[in-house]
Amino acid sequence: MPGSKLDPIDRHILAELQADGRMTNVELARRVGISAPPCLRRVRTLEETGFIRGYHADVDPRELGFEVQVFAMVGLSSQAEADLSAFEGKCREWPLVRECHMLNGEIDFILKCVSPDLSTFQTFLTEQLTAADNVASVKTSLVIRGAKNEPAVPFEVLEERLGRTP
């Protein structure tokens, strides 16, 4: 299990940064119970080894005028690795596509898209997504409202699996 490679202090650092990535190193060190210099070294190691991939602000899309959120389920004509990779590359180019996940089952990919309005999304859907090479089918679902949006991982579950209390 990958999480078991980390010691409890590293996991505590990750949990704290996940909750508040803007805290100072001094505050982080205080929260995890170590001094600032080793805390900073640990954070840098976690960054270098890929446990920390970046730091981001949680921006409210609706406040910025992105009123529409859509999930698009995409079926491809071919699932050859080159075709899958080509589609993933296309998704990285499309600004309205915010997430792209390859799935097992009836559909090949699910895309999370945001758009300022329905007509902008419809233009993207008809002129780019459905027109893309290898796209056989697209089914869309408009999000009415969100009940939960937790981008973080549940460290309490990891600690429980490792037989420790968080």
Confidence check: pLDDT of 119 > 80: yes
Distance of CA 73 to the CA centre of its chain: 17
User: Which pLDDT score, from 0 to 100, does residue 2 have?
Assistant: 54
Q: What's the pLDDT at 102?
A: 98
Q: Which pLDDT band holds residue 9 (cuts at 50, 70, 90)?
A: very high
Q: Which residue type sits at 113? A: C
Please name every residue paired with 155 in a beta bridge, in sequence order, or none if there are none.
none
Average pLDDT of the residues in 2-9: 76
Residue 87 in this model has a pLDDT that exceeds 80: yes
Q: Give the H/E segment covering residue 38.
A: helix 36-48
User: Which residue type sits at 128?
Assistant: Q
* Tokens at 159, concatenated: 């600690």
**Mean pLDDT across the chain:** 93
Q: What is the pLDDT of residue 89?
A: 98
What is the band of 1 on the pLDDT scale with cuts at 50, 70, 90?
very low
pLDDT computed for residue 4 by the predictor? 52
Q: Is the pLDDT of residue 158 over 90?
A: no
Strands 109-115 and 135-142: unpaired
**What does the block give as tokens for 19?**
């909750």
Cβ neighbours of 87 (radius 10 Å):
22
Rounded distance between C-alpha atoms, residue 124 and residue 82, angstroms? 24
Task: Give whole-number Cα distances, 32 to 13, 22, 48, 142, 152, in Å.
Answer: 6, 15, 20, 42, 18
Write down the pLDDT at residue 26. 97
Structure tokens at 34: 């170590």
- Residue 3 pLDDT > 60: no
Q: Rounded to an integer, what distance in angstroms lies between the CA atom of residue 28 and that of residue 13?
A: 7
Nearest to 152, CA basis, from 9, 3, 19: 19
Residue 155, C-beta contacts closer than 8 angstroms, at least 6 positions apart: 11, 14, 15, 18, 166
